Structure 1
Amino acid sequence: MTGPGGLPVSETPPVTTPREAAREAAERELSKPMYHENDPSLLDRALRRVLAWVDDLFAAAAGAAPGGTLGIVVVVVLIVLAVALLWWRLGTPRPVAAPTGGLLGERARTAADYRSSAQAHAAAGHWTEAVQDRMRALVRSLEERVLLEPRPGRTADEAAAEAAVPLPAHSAELRAAARLFDDVTYGGRTADQAMYARLTALDTAVERTRPALSGTGAAQ
């Protein structure tokens, strides 16, 4: 059989495949491993997504910051420098020790002994030990004057609070001295000459102050 123009016409109708079946056949074919040998791994895809997210975040920050990308870089550098300066100034963070044994320890010495020890530490430049012994001298002196009841295990804060009753004019300085003692003893803070001079001045002033009479609220 021939069609128009004398061309042969096939006697068998062309094969047609339904659209859905054709799509499924194509998916099966493309799912074969041979077509995916060069695909990126799951880790590669995840990494690319993270990098794209960081890039988008950086671009958004650069658009919002003055100076664009250069502004972001400057800000980051300034932050790093600030952190480095704080680290250099404060030193490596130290674990905070719990107070043990109280302010005067298990066996208290005399105020004169503590003062002598503090002066020796100060002469050697050991300011932390000098501050500690000067604070102990102050509290021990108050015990010797019967302004504080001798009590093992008393903390610096407790001593300051109790001493403020007979010595109200020095209550603020006593609380500050107690915080300083705790900072250098338990908080890892390093004392210096100025701190020692402050404790020495307070010890001398307290030594020369007459206690307030009960109910008067004043000291001379």
Structure 2
Amino acid sequence: MRLDIPVDPDAPEARRWLEDELAKPEYTAAQPTWFDRLMQQVGDWFAQLFSGAGAVPAELVWLVVVAVVVALVVVGLLVFGVPRLRRRRTSAAPLFDDGDVRDLATLRRAAEAAAARGDWALAIEERFRALVRGLVDRELVRVHPGTTAHGFARTASTRFPDATDGLDAAAAAFDGVRYLGRSGDAAAYDAVTALERTIEAARPVAIAADLAESVG
């Protein structure tokens, strides 16, 4: 069978062939995006600006440059969105198994009030909770309803290794007054208080993760 292949197309036929060829995916994907064209125009504009900058005051040139940079940043934010910044949690994580969500200042006032009336058991418990809340607020440890005092102490020790013994003792004091019915005393309360203040002012040891793992 003989096929008639047009080897010398007329102008309309040649144009149709060209449009069909350029419509193929490989040509479409290679075309510059609107952002590419914008950047090219900005680059050409800068080249023209600085090529004739001898007659333009330097202050005006830099003012224009800053304005263009700001405009590009705004365009970038509109196109790609605002970067996700690390923010502190807006709601307090509950402490231990009773859903305590009081803030640090409230816990400290409760501890001081209990100590003032000689209720050492409650004073120790509240001061230990303040210790935990302070580290949670600083995002150095995470707690959940199943977190134990000693579990917290182990995790906190990775950030404050010099306070390991004090953390263990404070956890034991907390467990003693909360679960074992001990009355506590001023010395134990003063020790937990001093530890809480020391850790508040101390710089934590850097670890691989941004936050310590959840403790149990």
TM-score between both structures, scaled by the size of structure 2: 0.50
Distance in 2 separating the partners of 1:204 and 1:102: 19
Aligned runs of 1:160-175 on 2, under 5 Å?
160-175=153-168
Q: Percent identity?
A: 39
Matched, 1:212 2:216: no
Say if 1:148 and 1:163, in contact at 8 Å, map to a contact too. Answer: yes
Structure 2 partner of 1:144: 137
Matched, 1:126 2:123: no
Distance in 1 separating the partners of 2:109 and 2:146: 23
Q: Secondary structure at the match of 2:198?
A: helix
Would you say how many aligned residue pairs link Structure 1 and Structure 2? 115
Structure 2 partner of 1:186: 179
Provide the aligned C-alpha RMSD in A: 1.7
Per-residue deviation, residues 90-112 of structure 1 (Å, max 9, x unmatched): xxxxxxxxxxx963621321111
Distance in 2 separating the partners of 1:104 and 1:123: 27
Per-residue deviation, residues 2-38 of structure 1 (Å, max 9, x unmatched): xxxxxxxxxxxxxxxxxxxxxxxxxxxxxxxxxxxxx
Distance in 1 separating the partners of 2:159 and 2:124: 23
Distance in 1 separating the partners of 2:177 and 2:143: 24
Aligned runs of 1:51-200 on 2, under 5 Å?
103=96, 105-200=98-193
The runs of 5 or more residues in structure 2 that have no matched partner are: 1-93, 209-216
Cα gap change, 1:104 to 1:127, in 2 (>3 Å): farther
Higher relative contact order (CA 8 A, sep 6+): 2
Distance in 2 separating the partners of 1:169 and 1:146: 19
Per-residue deviation, residues 149-204 of structure 1 (Å, max 9, x unmatched): 24223110111011011111111110111011111111121111111111100000
Per-residue deviation, residues 115-163 of structure 1 (Å, max 9, x unmatched): 0100010111111100000000000100000001242231101110110
Pair member with larger Rg: 1
Say if 1:119 and 1:130, in contact at 8 Å, map to a contact too. Answer: yes
TM-score between both structures, scaled by the size of structure 1: 0.50
Say if 2:150 and 2:168, in contact at 8 Å, map to a contact too. Answer: yes
Say if 1:164 and 1:170, in contact at 8 Å, map to a contact too. Answer: yes
The runs of 5 or more residues in structure 1 that have no matched partner are: 1-100, 216-220
Cα gap change, 1:104 to 1:144, in 2 (>3 Å): farther
Q: Secondary structure at the match of 1:152?
A: coil
Q: 2:195 aligns with which of 192, 202, 211?
A: 202
Say if 2:153 and 2:168, in contact at 8 Å, map to a contact too. Answer: yes
Q: Secondary structure at the match of 2:159?
A: coil
Structure 2 partner of 1:45: none
